[in-house]
Chain A
Amino acid sequence: MTPDTQTSQKNILRMNFRQRPVDGIALKNLIQAGLIWLRTNQQVVNSLNVFPVPDGDTGTNMVLTMQSALDEIADSAERNFGKMAHSVAHGALMGARGNSGVILSQLWRGFARAVDSQDFLDAPSFARAFAAARDTAYKGVVRPVEGTILTVAKDIAAAAETALGHTDDPFTLLEFVVKAADQSVERTPELLPVLKDAGVVDAGGKGLFYILEGMLRYANGQGLELPVTAVQPLSAMVLGEAIETIEPGQDVEVVVDFKPHSSLDIEDFYRTLEGMGTSIQVGEGDGLYRFHIHVPLENQYKPIEYAKSLGTFTRVTMENLIAQMEDLEASRGGSKLTLAQVEQNQIAVVVVSPGRGISRIFASLGAAAVVEGGQTMNPSTEEIIQAFVNLPTDRIIILPNNKNIILAASNAATLTVKKVAVIPCKSIPQGLAAILRLAPDGDFEAVVEEMTAAINEVVTGEITTATRSVEIKKVSTKEGQFIALLNGELVLAAKNLEGACLGLLEKAHADHYELITLFSGAGISNIEANRIGDLIRQRYSRQEIEVKEGGQPHYHFILSIE
């Protein structure tokens, strides 16, 4: 293709895509474009993690939220812009996952309200909608923090206002907005010290930028499938989450490390991989490339053949996802969960739990419903609602047990006629402390108050593996080391599990408490869990030590100190 034909094609696309008037169908196309572009850059957003822990993946949460919005309008032929916007907002609200997803849904909610039943979108109403989106999102957060997606929403609303002085074209206004979003995201580390310490920009803000940029790229006729920054640092690649996102027909996960003979044409490389499979991630460090791909069984050797054609491969791992899924299903079906039976007018507790063992413990303490989810798998607002909508009572208390799920749970509370309270518990030990105060026949407000107060009566420890090397608050960790978090703060790194556990207990002054409970993670055998438990018993002979199977992913141990 010569530059000339490229340009002329672009112009044709411009004419097609910048269609006016901007009606409901145009919005649908823009939403789709925003989603595709966000999905293309999902891993980039996911890698913007402050702590080196496997955290609620912001990119994934925002993609799933936008996907829910698109699903809501997929079959709609609504031409009215405002009505279509309301459908988008509703879909986003029901599918909202994680804090960023919830704030995103609030942005759409405000946006939709501002354009209410307008037939078309023009520049002034576009600017008004951005302002309303900002206002609604700020109101949706109890203590708004600057340097986050909220700041980006604020900056783009200001840019849209400014743009009105220069243009009456909504797409030109969008150009102003995207530019402002980009700059705003880059400024987030200046506003939020934790971002600066970790050397990243805000993930939610970045996700919002991609959505808007995707819309603009679509309007400009630019491609949406190929990420601009297709290659991420090797250390930022988070693999092993594949099982959550397995697509039909993509049976095998292949990860290949290789050193190319000559410099790699990334675009060409990426495109070839796209021809083979899905869930592509590419990482690079010191000239070594690693790619991750899901392929159908019959194509399982193609990625390796391809890597061989480009250079020398140093390592290949291949996993049968279908077999893994079956194993997972089998282990899940292993023991039945006996949930508490609530009666009419009793208080029912809905718990978000990351593992079977933890679910069983919550059930034994009176939980009436369990939503699977946690650290890297934030349940959507709709999943939370579904968990309690059929319970025979209108008095519901939700224990999110994770800071990334509190907002989605609060959102669920606003979307039902039932009386719902969310206890702001950020960890499993906090959630357990809360459910211990459950009086199912008690006065709702009094029980909520007591449960909320109880979450401060327990100390939470978490042991995981660092996903990258970083120094935070004088604690320096290397990728792959065991790290300990005390009440959510990184306190130490250690070579082995016992070092991390004992070090954590020391930092927590565990000798001043009565009871230490360990919840072992999915990858920890009972023998290993008991060995660590015995070591702790030796060191803390005056404390009671209890070791339980938690079954949570990512966290080798969760410790409750009380």
Chain B
Amino acid sequence: MNLESTVQAEIAIVTDSTADIPSALTEELGIHVVPNVIMIQNQSFEDGIDITREEFYERLVTTKSISTGTASSGKYEEKFDLLLGKGSRHVLSIHAASLLSGIFNAASLAARSFGDRVTVVDSRQLSLGLGFQVLAAAEDAIRGAPLDNILSHLEDVSRRVRLIAMLDTLEYVRRSGRVSWARARIGELLKIKPFIELKNGHVLSLGEARTTQKGITRLKDLLLALGPVERLAVLHTNAEDQARQFLASLPITPPDSFLVNVTTVIGTHTGPNGIGFTVVLP
């Protein structure tokens, strides 16, 4: 970390590892990422630090007892304390949807010790749906924008973010127990690829596809139906080839588009071989 060397911004931006922002960007923009915890057979790993995403997905399929957890509120307290001690006047901590994860809660608990010097925001999104909000806030912070402006900008971006994905199976979503409608969908047909949209912290059903080719075509149609986009990230859960195929099939892509093997926190709940996208609409 080059924390020591960068000039501390007035407002420090914190997020968690579910934001899926490439490390080059977090470094460039001085974004502080608190890693989540992955438990594999009673052993704990820090997301993206002790275990790569490729390793994680391999073990997800072979190991039954995988779970993910949030960093403790103590970890967040440490981080906030460090940043405020190093000269930031304020910390803005932006996190994964509180309806789907305990991260927001842990960060909020930690923030209590700092009064109004720490603001915690529920992005109501995951992955780059969260990441694009964090990037917007970080860019504002570097320009020296006041907190109120950054917060209203965040609110505005969150309204323009869309996250849609095609999973390989509904099994992991069902097992996670967080999506009520998935419980009723007892797999009658074996070949089903569920489509989901993450909206305001809720996982909504967008139907299903029965073959991969039709699924990729539909994913493209859903993306194109949104019209021109400001930012695009193609997401996958260890399905890089399919994700690249999807990206290549798009007629135009914004210049700074990402291809991301998404956070393990999502991966645990969606299973491998999913692909999707996050966009920010103009």
Chain A positions 536 through 562: 1 when the CB is less than 8 Å from some CB of chain B, otherwise 0: 000000001010100000000000001
List 23 contacting pairs A-B, 8 Å CB cutoff, sorted by A.
A339-B184, A341-B184, A360-B188, A361-B188, A365-B185, A365-B208, A436-B210, A437-B207, A438-B207, A439-B197, A439-B206, A440-B205, A441-B205, A442-B206, A457-B214, A514-B212, A515-B191, A515-B211, A517-B191, A544-B211, A546-B190, A548-B189, A562-B210
- Compute how far the CA of A432 lies from the CA of B205 in the bound complex, rounded to whole angstroms: 16
Chain A positions 387 through 431: 1 when the CB is less than 8 Å from some CB of chain B, otherwise 0: 000000000000000000000000000000000000000000000
- Compute how far the CA of A340 lies from the CA of B180 in the bound complex, rounded to whole angstroms: 10
- Compute how far the CA of A360 lies from the CA of B187 in the bound complex, rounded to whole angstroms: 10
Tell whether A546 pairs with B207 under 8 Å between CB atoms, given A338-B184, A364-B186, A439-B197.
no
Q: Is A366 an interface residue (CB 8 A)?
A: yes
Closest A residue to B199 using CB positions: A441
Chain B positions 139 through 172: 1 when the CB is less than 8 Å from some CB of chain A, otherwise 0: 0000000000000000000000000000000000
Contacts of A546 in B (CB 8 A): 189-191
A361 B189 Cβ-Cβ under 8 A: yes
Interface residues on A, range: 20 to 34
Q: Is B100 an interface residue (CB 8 A)?
A: no
A517 B189 Cβ-Cβ under 8 A: yes
Q: Is B209 an interface residue (CB 8 A)?
A: yes
- Compute how far the CA of A436 lies from the CA of B185 in the bound complex, rounded to whole angstroms: 12
Q: Is B114 an interface residue (CB 8 A)?
A: no
Measured between C-beta atoms, what is the minimum distance from A399 to chain B in Å? 13
A441 B210 Cβ-Cβ under 8 A: no
Contacts of B192 in A (CB 8 A): 365
A364 B191 Cβ-Cβ under 8 A: no
Chain B positions 92 through 136: 1 when the CB is less than 8 Å from some CB of chain A, otherwise 0: 000000000000000000000000000000000000000000000
Interface residues of A in 319-372 (CB under 8 A from B): 338-341, 360-361, 363-366
B207 A439 Cβ-Cβ under 8 A: yes
Interface residues of B in 171-207 (CB under 8 A from A): 181, 184-192, 195, 197, 199, 204-207
Q: Is B41 an interface residue (CB 8 A)?
A: no
Closest A residue to B181 using CB positions: A340
Q: Is B213 an interface residue (CB 8 A)?
A: yes
Contacts of A439 in B (CB 8 A): 195, 197, 204-207
Contacts of A544 in B (CB 8 A): 191, 211
User: What would 12 more interface pairs be, CB under 8 Å, given A361-B189, A441-B199?
Assistant: A363-B188, A364-B188, A364-B189, A365-B192, A365-B208, A366-B205, A435-B207, A437-B207, A440-B205, A515-B210, A546-B191, A548-B189
Tell whether A514 pairs with B184 under 8 Å between CB atoms, given A439-B197, A441-B204.
no
B184 A340 Cβ-Cβ under 8 A: yes
B191 A338 Cβ-Cβ under 8 A: no
Closest B residue to A446 using CB positions: B225
Contacts of B184 in A (CB 8 A): 338-341, 363-364
Contacts of B213 in A (CB 8 A): 514
A562 B188 Cβ-Cβ under 8 A: no
Closest A residue to B190 using CB positions: A546
Closest B residue to A441 using CB positions: B204
- Compute how far the CA of A204 lies from the CA of B212 in the bound complex, rounded to whole angstroms: 44
Contacts of A435 in B (CB 8 A): 207
Measured between C-beta atoms, what is the minimum distance from B115 to chain A in Å? 39
- Compute how far the CA of A365 lies from the CA of B209 in the bound complex, rounded to whole angstroms: 11
B interface with A by C-beta (< 8 Å): 181, 184-192, 195, 197, 199, 204-214
Interface residues of A in 505-527 (CB under 8 A from B): 514-515, 517
Chain A positions 166 through 189: 1 when the CB is less than 8 Å from some CB of chain B, otherwise 0: 000000000000000000000000
B187 A364 Cβ-Cβ under 8 A: yes
Measured between C-beta atoms, what is the minimum distance from A428 to chain B in Å? 12
Contacts of B188 in A (CB 8 A): 360-361, 363-365, 548
Contacts of B199 in A (CB 8 A): 441
Closest B residue to A440 using CB positions: B205
B185 A364 Cβ-Cβ under 8 A: yes
Closest A residue to B213 using CB positions: A514
Contacts of B204 in A (CB 8 A): 439-441
Tell whether A562 pairs with B208 under 8 Å between CB atoms, given A544-B191, A546-B189, A546-B191.
no
Interface residues of A in 433-474 (CB under 8 A from B): 435-442, 457
- Compute how far the CA of A442 lies from the CA of B191 in the bound complex, rounded to whole angstroms: 24
Contacts of B211 in A (CB 8 A): 514-515, 544, 562
Closest B residue to A341 using CB positions: B184
Tell whether A436 pairs with B209 under 8 Å between CB atoms, given A360-B188, A361-B188, A515-B191.
yes
Measured between C-beta atoms, what is the minimum distance from A536 to chain B in Å? 15
- Compute how far the CA of A338 lies from the CA of B212 in the bound complex, rounded to whole angstroms: 27
- Compute how far the CA of A341 lies from the CA of B180 in the bound complex, rounded to whole angstroms: 10
Closest A residue to B202 using CB positions: A441
Closest A residue to B186 using CB positions: A364
Q: Per a CB cutoff under 8 Å, which of B186, B207, B208, B214 touches A338?
A: B186
Closest B residue to A457 using CB positions: B214
B207 A436 Cβ-Cβ under 8 A: yes
Closest A residue to B195 using CB positions: A439
- Compute how far the CA of A364 lies from the CA of B170 in the bound complex, rounded to whole angstroms: 11
- Compute how far the CA of A456 lies from the CA of B147 in the bound complex, rounded to whole angstroms: 52
Closest B residue to A517 using CB positions: B189
> Which of B185, B195, B206, B212 gathers the greatest number of chain A CB atoms within 10 Å?
B206
Measured between C-beta atoms, what is the minimum distance from A129 to chain B in Å? 47
Closest 8 CB pairs of A and B: A364-B188, A514-B211, A361-B188, A439-B206, A436-B208, A437-B207, A441-B204, A438-B207
- Compute how far the CA of A360 lies from the CA of B184 in the bound complex, rounded to whole angstroms: 11
- Compute how far the CA of A363 lies from the CA of B192 in the bound complex, rounded to whole angstroms: 14
B185 A562 Cβ-Cβ under 8 A: no
Measured between C-beta atoms, what is the minimum distance from B224 to chain A in Å? 13
Measured between C-beta atoms, what is the minimum distance from A343 to chain B in Å? 9
B214 A366 Cβ-Cβ under 8 A: no
